[in-house]
Amino acid sequence: MIFESLQALLAPSSLLAVFIGTVSGVLVGGMPGLTATMAVALLIPVTFVLEPLTGLILMGGVYCGAMYGGSIPAILLRTPGTPAAVATAMEGYPMSRQGHGGLALKVSVIASFCGGVFSTFVLLMVAPILAIFALTFGPPEYFLLAILGLVGIVSMADDESSLVKALISGLLGLVIAVIGTDPISGQLRYTLGLTDLYDGVSFMPALIGMFSISQMLDLTSTKRIVTDTSTLQKIKREPFPKGLKKFVGLGSITGTVVGVLPGEGATIAAFLSYNFARQYSKKKHLFGHGNPEGIAAAESGNNGCVGGSLVPTLTLGIPGNSVAAALMGGLIIHGLIPGPELFSKYGVMTYAFILSLFLANIIFLFIGLTMAPYFARISLIPTPILIPVVCLFSLLGSYAMNNSILDIFVALICGIAAVILHRTGFSLGALILGLILGPIAESGFAQALIIGHGSYSIFFTRPQAIILWAIILVLLIPPIIQISRQSGRKKADVERQSDTSAE
């Protein structure tokens, strides 16, 4: 069957579809506010004119391309094209400022490629087994997964700001995430009567505000993004950093596993891999100041999500995230109902689709590597021209996510708030983490208590939950020991440091 699939994939129309899909995916992913979900939904009626396989391949290409594309503006302009690229921005943008933008782009595309290929391989080989694993996750496990992500706040603390401030920032994020409809009672909370807030503060506009707009405001005092232009001449010859392999591997596995869980997105996958890398790295002090290890982990994490999210989509009909949901709509429209039949009766098409994802990864790898030096020049554009353009796309992107004017103001307010919070030493990374994980934490917590008929023991009795607790402890203990040791040793230094390190 695989042979027939390969044949179907090598037909000129399929190859063209992979190419067009991937290229447009990179473009869509690179524009803040345009999402892969949007593009896939747009393609659904178009695929009707096409052979089902061609249509599917087109969508798969868009999905893969978009996941990578988001990292390009994240690295160059600190404007994440997709929410999943935020962690990439945290390491990639400082590299751009130091004149290593081209290198950061290369690391990101190679990591994306590895994550994508790994997860597609997993999808091809062990999809049914993984799907069963995904189903064992219930509300209590989702709550613990959110806690696992929040533990990252502690590891973010030891450099930029004090632990207490990072925790306050994280809690602020969680509190902001409470705004909107109560997940259990359906009651409205703190929405000020604004319909646009019924679903909570939109995540993407808030992100655009905190990362992109605040950064553009900051840049008004400089002539160029790149502060150190001396390294620019050697973009092409810059040696590739060593020892990134384990971080790519770490990210790929984390991304795939998180992707398999229905409802969990690439954003969480990227952040979790990033946090793991931060824990595991020998160069911890470089994190937040342009560490390629962080990019490697985050990008392989979010692209690892692609194959992972298709596992429950194809085998069980439970889409792993919103893009996968739109893709499933495209499958169903051709009469392909997800389930075992997809791998037997329609096997040729399904396997051809999976194989096309490999091809899509190769295409964006090629695009990324050849274009990196050219993309990197974007950060050389003088700021008086660059800032208004980036601001325009940021505002437009905030609007386009939900067609909401209010979201533009959300972005603006978050932008100015981010400037102030950053200057006073609060951690934006922690705030974002709280904002992303808040809804999962809250509904997981509340649903688990309903299922457990009000008893908290449900968080401690299930085997998966116990494993998650163990991982949480493993992640939590080292940074706490480190922080307490540090504060004991250089009590006096810490205060001086916290002021100078705030850029």
20 vs 369, beta carbon nearer another protein? 20
On the CB side of 122, CA atoms within 13 Å amount to 28
20 vs 380, beta carbon nearer another protein? 20
Compute the distance between CA of residue 332 and CA of residue 410 in angstroms, rounded to an integer: 36
CB of 501 to another protein, least distance (A): 13
Looking at residues 326 to 345 of the shown chain, list those that interact with another protein (rule: CB under 8 A): 326-327, 329, 332-335, 337-341
Picking from 369, 393, 302, the residue whose alpha carbon sits closest to that of residue 68 is 302
Looking at residues 433 to 452 of the shown chain, list those that interact with another protein (rule: CB under 8 A): 441-443, 445-447, 449-451
Q: What count of other Cβ atoms lies within 10 Å of the Cβ of residue 358? A: 18
Three-class secondary structure assignment of 116-178: HHHHHHHHHHHHHHHHHHHHCCCHHHHHHHHHHHHCHHHHHHCCCCCHHHHHHHHHHHHHHHH
CB of 188 to another protein, least distance (A): 7
> Does 478 sit near another protein (CB under 8 A)?
no
> Does 466 sit near another protein (CB under 8 A)?
no
124 vs 217, beta carbon nearer another protein? 217
- Tell me the torsion sign for CA atoms 39, 44, 45, 47: positive
3-state secondary structure of 188: strand
> Does 262 sit near another protein (CB under 8 A)?
yes
Number of residues that bind another protein (CB under 8 A): 124
Cα angle, residue 452 at apex, residues 448 and 457 outer, rounded to 5° = 90
366 vs 456, beta carbon nearer another protein? 456
Binding mask 67-106 for another protein (x = CB under 8 A): ----------------------------------------
Rg over alpha carbons for the chain, rounded to the nearest Å, is: 22
- 432-460 residues labelled b (16+ CB within 10 A) or e (exposed): bbbbbbbbbbbbbbbbbbeebeeeeebbe
> Does 300 sit near another protein (CB under 8 A)?
no
Stretch that binds another protein, among 107-115, 239-247, 355-363, 398-406 (CB under 8 A): 398-406
Question: What single DSSP character describes residue 209?
Answer: I
Binding mask 184-203 for another protein (x = CB under 8 A): xxxxxxx----xx-xx----
Looking at residues 28 to 57 of the shown chain, list those that interact with another protein (rule: CB under 8 A): 28, 31, 34, 37-42, 44-51, 54
> Does 128 sit near another protein (CB under 8 A)?
no
- Which token pair is 460? 């401690």
CB of 444 to another protein, least distance (A): 10
Compute the distance between CA of residue 225 and CA of residue 201 in angstroms, rounded to an integer: 30
Answer for which of 231, 383, 482, 497 binds another protein (CB under 8 A) is: 383
Looking at residues 481 to 500 of the shown chain, list those that interact with another protein (rule: CB under 8 A): 495, 499
Binding mask 345-364 for another protein (x = CB under 8 A): --------------------
Compute the distance between CA of residue 285 and CA of residue 338 in angstroms, rounded to an integer: 46
> Does 7 sit near another protein (CB under 8 A)?
no
> Does 256 sit near another protein (CB under 8 A)?
no
> Does 463 sit near another protein (CB under 8 A)?
no
> Does 172 sit near another protein (CB under 8 A)?
yes
Compute the distance between CA of residue 282 and CA of residue 289 in angstroms, rounded to an integer: 15
370 vs 455, beta carbon nearer another protein? 455
> Does 218 sit near another protein (CB under 8 A)?
yes
Answer for which of 83, 102, 288, 319 binds another protein (CB under 8 A) is: 319
131 vs 298, beta carbon nearer another protein? 131
Which contacts qualify for 37-41: CB closer than 8 Å, 24 or more apart? 37/322, 37/323, 37/325, 37/326, 39/66, 40/323, 40/326, 40/327, 40/330, 41/326, 41/329
